[in-house]
Amino acid sequence: MLSGSFEELKQGLKKLPGIGEKTATRLAMYLIRMERKDAETIGEAIIKAVNSYSNCPVCNILTDTEPCVFCQDTQREQQILCVVEDTQDAYLIEDTHEFKGRYFILGNLLSPMDGIGLDEINYPLLQDFLAANPVEELILAISPSVEGESTINFLVNQLADNVKTITRLSTGLPFGGDMEYATSRTLTTAFKRRYSAYK
């Protein structure tokens, strides 16, 4: 049984989403059997990316510029803000070419049982964003999971008096589903048919 640095590598790989014990073992074995130069190139690329990217101080998206390209782009619709859970969701929406406004990244969804509260979803930063950048429409493009619904309800209740219109994505995203697995067509349709988030 391999141990030491191999076990450290395997445990590190298990921290990646969707990677369990067997997959982590297989990937770790593959990496240590690679040509040393290729393995080192992968390692260097990871270090470079981790050191190059940080959260935009305005919208919280992962970026290698400050502020990010979205916050710098004055051609985007400044009166529409799309709130998503993470950076990947923003780029999924961007790929639909349906949205031309600005983004805000929560980073997490409310889950008190897991210790994820207002600070963990960057609600204070969102408040600062809206105070400095008043919007006409706030789009809550959040996966319809239990945590997602709790987050949507919280944001609607807190921001209803400050934003003229708050909408959410329409049908096509199954309850409990993740935006990451939605097709571009499904996401486009859900975006076009968004509806009021007020109950």
For each of the domains in the chain, give its residue range(s) and CATH number, in order of start.
5-52 (1.10.8.420), 55-196 (3.40.1360.10)
For residue 148, give the nearest of 124, 189, 180 by alpha carbon: 180
Q: What is the mean pLDDT of residues 179-193?
A: 70
Q: Is the pLDDT of residue 193 over 50?
A: yes
Model's pTM, two decimal places? 0.82
Q: Is the pLDDT of residue 175 over 50?
A: no
pLDDT in tens, 122-154: 999 999 999 999 999 999 999 888 899 999 999
Q: Is the pLDDT of residue 177 over 60?
A: no
Q: Is the pLDDT of residue 27 over 80?
A: yes
pLDDT for the residue numbered 124:
93
Which has the higher per-residue pLDDT, 187 or 12? Answer: 12
Mean of pLDDT over the chain: 88
pLDDT for the residue numbered 162:
86
Q: What is the mean pLDDT of residues 64-77?
A: 94
All residues at 6 or more sequence positions from 157 whose CB lies less than 8 Å from its CB, including other chains: none
Least confident of 106-110, 115-119, 192-196: 192-196
Q: Which residue has the tokens 């050191």?
A: 51
Q: From residue 181, how far is each of 94, 143, 172, 175 by CA, in Å? A: 15, 10, 12, 13
Q: Where are the alpha helices (DSSP H) in the chain?
A: 5-13, 21-33, 36-52, 69-72, 87-96, 123-132, 146-159, 184-192
pLDDT for the residue numbered 179:
61
Q: Is the pLDDT of residue 191 over 70?
A: yes
Structural tokens at position 185? 């067509």
pLDDT for the residue numbered 9:
94
Which has the higher per-residue pLDDT, 185 or 26? Answer: 26
Q: What is the mean pLDDT of residues 66-90?
A: 95
pLDDT for the residue numbered 181:
55
